[in-house]
């Protein structure tokens, strides 16, 4: 039995990870679950999956659910609680399905404890990619991508030599507003932005997809996961989200990974790697799909993508500040406090005032994250 812990078990990736686990009850068991504030769902998950340890985001929420937990289940709270779920217990693999850079300390703690990582929480790599990848290398821990594009690249690279890679291409759906002009973006609502054309995901990543920040975060994520320079990472608009990404090799061969959009596939592969197991995902019929379309990425239309790549190239704390500013700006947009186009402006303004530090340690990263959040909240 493989033991799995999930950080963010009540979210989109967390619940789909539990769906995958439920499909293979003889192969997986749940060791620990960490949630934010959705205690009703967490308690339901506890009854069904019988974890030994759970955590919620605050002490108050922990006290609220204490008497509803079966005896013997250990209860934790706050960031320390997430670290307990990540590094305590007996998990073989920790799925990082929490949203945002709040997952950084617990991801590092899981790696330090020698747990393999099913990595969905891309913000940790954007915030502190060098710390996460260096520690994983030192501890001999696998960082198994859950993000669909990175799982695709990972699969395309199976058995290949890194020196043979010419470049990788991350595909982008274009998000909710891919056919809008910049002028039309001025009047969009939160409900409009939350209508992703192909994927059903958490609110924050759905907005990131609409601003193309998601693809920016993914370029940085790919840089760290695959150890490639930014010059070898490209982005292509592919509205159907069928080709999840591809690799071009120096002999001009291209290997791509395709499938209907269903996150249970990359989640399961991260849990079963290097094996492939049966999945209920709808089979892709290219005859039915008939046409796959592509468009050159327009960096003027999607300036946040351009800015993210510039931050990636600048290195150090630039990507930390980019991520933190975006997290705050998206939260403000979701609360209807700012218009959609203001998200990009806030990120840009925070970066204008940011003094990047090279090779930051964890304390410097956390200070940069805090300062960028403070500024983004004030703007």
Ligand X SMILES: NC(=O)C1=CN([C@@H]2O[C@H](COP(=O)(O)OP(=O)(O)OC[C@H]3O[C@@H](n4cnc5c(N)ncnc54)[C@H](OP(=O)(O)O)[C@@H]3O)[C@@H](O)[C@H]2O)C=CC1
- Cβ pair 236, 256 in contact under 8 A: no
Beta carbon of residue 54, minimum distance to ligand DXP (angstroms, whole number): 26
Identity of the residue, 209 or 268, whose beta carbon is nearer to ligand DXP in the bound complex: 209
Identity of the residue, 16 or 55, whose beta carbon is nearer to ligand DXP in the bound complex: 16
Identity of the residue, 135 or 201, whose beta carbon is nearer to ligand DXP in the bound complex: 201
- Cβ pair 121, 145 in contact under 8 A: no
Q: How far is CA 198 from CA 85, 106, 151, 210, in A?
A: 32, 30, 17, 12
| 214 marked as part of a ligand binding site | yes
Q: Does 147 bind Mn ion (CB under 5 A)?
A: yes
- Cβ pair 305, 348 in contact under 8 A: no
Instruction: Determine the Cα–Cα distance for residues 200 and 161; give it in Å rounded to an integer.
Output: 35
Residue ranges in contact with ligand DXP by CB under 6 A = 147-149, 172-173, 175, 199, 205, 209, 214-215, 263
For the chain, state the CA radius of gyration: 20
| 158 marked as part of a ligand binding site | no
Evaluated on CA atoms 284, 289, 294, 300, the torsion sign reads negative
Beta carbon of residue 100, minimum distance to ligand X (angstroms, whole number): 6
Identity of the residue, 82 or 185, whose beta carbon is nearer to ligand X in the bound complex: 82
| 2 marked as part of a ligand binding site | no
Instruction: Determine the Cα–Cα distance for residues 225 and 358; give it in Å rounded to an integer.
Output: 20
Instruction: Determine the Cα–Cα distance for residues 27 and 103; give it in Å rounded to an integer.
Output: 27
| 216 marked as part of a ligand binding site | no
Identity of the residue, 105 or 204, whose beta carbon is nearer to ligand DXP in the bound complex: 204
* Residue 121 interacts with which of Mn ion, ligand DXP, ligand X, none, CB < 5 to 8 Å by class: ligand X
Residue ranges in contact with ligand X by CB under 6 A = 8-14, 35-38, 57, 82, 97-99, 102, 120-123, 147, 199, 201-202, 204-205, 263
| 151 marked as part of a ligand binding site | no
Beta carbon of residue 115, minimum distance to ligand X (angstroms, whole number): 17
Instruction: Determine the Cα–Cα distance for residues 107 and 268; give it in Å rounded to an integer.
Output: 19
Hey, what are 253's tokens?
């061969």
Hey, what are 39's tokens?
């205690």
Beta carbon of residue 112, minimum distance to ligand DXP (angstroms, whole number): 27
Q: Does 208 bind Mn ion (CB under 5 A)?
A: no
Binding residues for Mn(2+): 147, 149, 218
């Amino acid at each position: 039995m493989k033991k799995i812990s999930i950080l963010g078990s009540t979210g989109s990736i967390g619940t789909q990870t539990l769906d995958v686990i439920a499909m293979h009850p003889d192969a997986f068991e749940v060791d620990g679950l960490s949630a934010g504030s959705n205690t009703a769902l967490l308690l339901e998950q506890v009854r069904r999956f019988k974890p030994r340890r759970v955590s919620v985001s605050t002490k108050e929420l922990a006290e609220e659910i204490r008497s509803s937990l079966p005896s013997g289940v250990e209860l934790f709270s706050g960031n320390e609680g997430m670290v307990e779920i990540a590094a305590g217990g007996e998990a073989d693999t920790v799925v990082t399905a929490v949203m945002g850079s709040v997952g950084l300390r617990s991801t590092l703690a899981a790696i330090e404890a020698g747990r393999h990582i099913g990595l969905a929480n891309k913000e940790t790599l954007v915030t502190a990619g060098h710390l996460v990848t260096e520690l994983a290398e030192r501890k001999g821990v696998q960082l198994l991508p859950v993000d669909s594009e990175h799982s695709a690249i990972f699969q395309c690279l199976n058995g290949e030599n890194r020196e043979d890679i010419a470049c990788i291409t991350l595909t982008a759906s274009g998000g909710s507003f891919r056919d809008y002009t910049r002028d039309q973006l001025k009047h969009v609502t939160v409900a409009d932005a939350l209508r992703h054309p192909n994927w059903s995901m958490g609110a924050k990543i759905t907005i990131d997809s609409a601003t193309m920040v998601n693809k920016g975060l993914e370029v940085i994520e790919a840089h760290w996961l695959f150890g490639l320079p930014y010059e070898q990472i490209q982005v292509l608009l592919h509205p159907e989200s069928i080709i999840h990404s591809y690799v071009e090799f120096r002999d001009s061969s291209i290997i791509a990974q395709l499938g209907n959009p269903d996150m249970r596939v990359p989640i399961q592969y991260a849990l079963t790697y290097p094996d492939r197991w049966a999945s209920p995902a709808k089979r892709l019929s290219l005859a039915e799909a008939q046409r796959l379309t592509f468009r050159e990425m327009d960096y003027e239309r999607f300036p946040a993508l351009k800015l993210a790549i510039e931050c990636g190239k600048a290195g150090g704390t630039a990507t930390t500040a980019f991520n933190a500013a975006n997290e705050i700006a998206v939260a403000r947009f979701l609360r209807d406090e700012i218009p959609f186009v203001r998200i990009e402006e806030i990120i840009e303004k925070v970066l204008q005032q940011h003094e990047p530090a090279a090779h930051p340690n964890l304390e410097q990263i956390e200070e940069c994250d805090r300062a960028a959040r403070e500024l983004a909240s004030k703007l």
